[in-house]
């Protein structure tokens, strides 16, 4: 795929190594316990990247499948899983339209990656693909980007630095409103890498569409294969009450 960032799996993983996969695995299990209507033995990570969460689920004994468009990400996931002695299957596919060879019991898409489904038509196609991949009663968890158009600070760039050994990655992430009528934003992701003194820069700039909660409800209704369980806080399985960067959408296959 045409991405500078997602072709740099190792640096990407360092940049996002603040992810607490154990905590996220606990959260998945909380949702499963409370809302799944099927026993969960297998999981699907959509737009999995290097898939810290999937590796955590594999550690916990779930049959684990990671799907991504980037071969570099999947190769990295394969080699890390091998090192960690974990059984993880990988599938190179497009989240907009894909087909698994067998169904799973729980599916999720993390870190706002649902934004790579670029319009409502594709969102309906995406839901069809997820529905065809899930057993009845299984959950689909979407960690959505919660855009607060009313708060200008939301659109300021965020910077952070993460290190592993002698590799330092400075990441910049920014969302800039592009066309509020079309709900589009420009997403900028930049990694400035210092790898043992070798300096490199990678940047992705994409025009993407935000999906709002009320719109999502209608699309889920139109698709008709899921029921909406609710919108939840990101750190707990509690229903969302106010606007916040937390935004987990939970769907259940009918
Ligand atoms: C922000 S990363 C998220 C990675 C991982 N889920 C995480 O939480 O760290 C987004 C991922 O989406 C993948 N991606 C982007 N567009 C895609 C598409 N149309 N189909 C499949 N994967 C896609 C990229 O290759 C990248 O690995």
Q: For 207-238, what is each residue's pLDDT tens digit?
A: 999 888 889 999 999 999 999 999 998 777 78
Q: Give the distance (Å) from ligand 1 centre to CA of residue 12.
A: 11
- Domain ranges within the chain, ordered by starting residue: 5-147+211-253, 152-209
CA 57 – CA 39 distance, rounded (Å): 15
Q: For 116-157, what is each residue's pLDDT tens digit?
A: 999 999 999 999 999 999 999 999 999 987 667 777 888 899
Atom of ligand 1 nearest to the CA of 94: 20
Q: Which residues pair with 90 in a beta bridge?
A: 66
Query: In the prediction, which pLDDT does 39 show?
Result: 98
| pLDDT of 1 over the 80 cut | no
Q: Give the distance (Å) from ligand 1 centre to CA of residue 17.
A: 15
Give nearest CA residue, ligand 1 atom 19. Answer: 94
For 152-209, which CATH class? Answer: mainly beta
Query: In the prediction, which pLDDT does 149 show?
Result: 74
Tokens 């809302």, residue? 35
Looking at the structure, give the CATH architecture of the domain made up of residues 5-147+211-253: 3-Layer(aba) Sandwich (3.40)
For the entire predicted model, the pTM comes to 0.96
Q: For ligand 1, say whether the CB of 47 is within 6 Å of any of its atoms.
A: yes
Q: For ligand 1, say whether the CB of 69 is within 6 Å of any of its atoms.
A: yes
Query: In the prediction, which pLDDT does 246 show?
Result: 64
| Helix boundaries (H) for the chain | 9-15, 21-35, 52-59, 71-83, 120-133, 213-223
Give nearest CA residue, ligand 1 atom 20. Answer: 94
- Confidence band, pLDDT 50/70/90 cuts, at residue 243: low
Residues 6+ apart with CB under 8 A from 169: 11, 14, 15, 161, 162, 163, 191, 192, 193, 194
Give nearest CA residue, ligand 1 atom 13. Answer: 47
Listed residue (85, 83, 84, 86) closest to 65, CA to CA? 86
Q: For ligand 1, say whether the CB of 204 is within 6 Å of any of its atoms.
A: no
| pLDDT of 64 over the 70 cut | yes
Q: For 94-126, what is each residue's pLDDT tens digit?
A: 999 999 999 999 999 999 999 999 999 999 999
């Amino acid at each position: 795929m045409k991405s500078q960032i997602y072709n740099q799996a190792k640096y990407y993983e360092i940049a996002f190594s603040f992810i607490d996969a154990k905590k996220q695995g606990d959260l998945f299990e909380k949702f499963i316990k409370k809302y799944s209507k099927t026993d969960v033995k297998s999981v699907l990570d959509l737009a999995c990247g290097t898939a810290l969460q999937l590796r955590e689920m594999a550690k916990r004994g779930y049959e684990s499948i990671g799907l991504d468009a980037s071969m570099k990400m999947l190769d990295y996931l394969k080699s890390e899983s091998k090192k960690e002695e974990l059984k993880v299957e990988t599938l190179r596919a497009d989240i907009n339209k894909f087909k698994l060879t067998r169904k799973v019991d729980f599916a999720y898409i993390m870190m706002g990656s649902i934004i790579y489904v670029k319009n409502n038509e594709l969102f309906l196609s995406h839901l069809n693909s997820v529905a065809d991949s899930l057993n009845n009663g299984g959950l689909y968890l979407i960690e959505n980007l919660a855009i607060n158009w009313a708060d200008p600070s939301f659109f300021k760039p965020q910077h952070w630095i993460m290190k592993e050994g002698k590799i330092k990655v400075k990441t910049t992430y920014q969302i800039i409103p592009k066309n509020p009528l079309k709900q589009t934003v420009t997403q900028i992701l930049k990694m400035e890498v210092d790898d043992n003194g070798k300096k490199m820069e990678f940047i992705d700039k994409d025009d993407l569409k935000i999906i709002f909660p009320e719109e999502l409800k209608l699309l889920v209704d139109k698709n008709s294969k899921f029921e909406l369980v609710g919108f939840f806080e990101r750190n707990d399985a509690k229903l969302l009450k106010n606007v916040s960067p937390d935004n987990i959408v939970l769907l259940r296959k009918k």
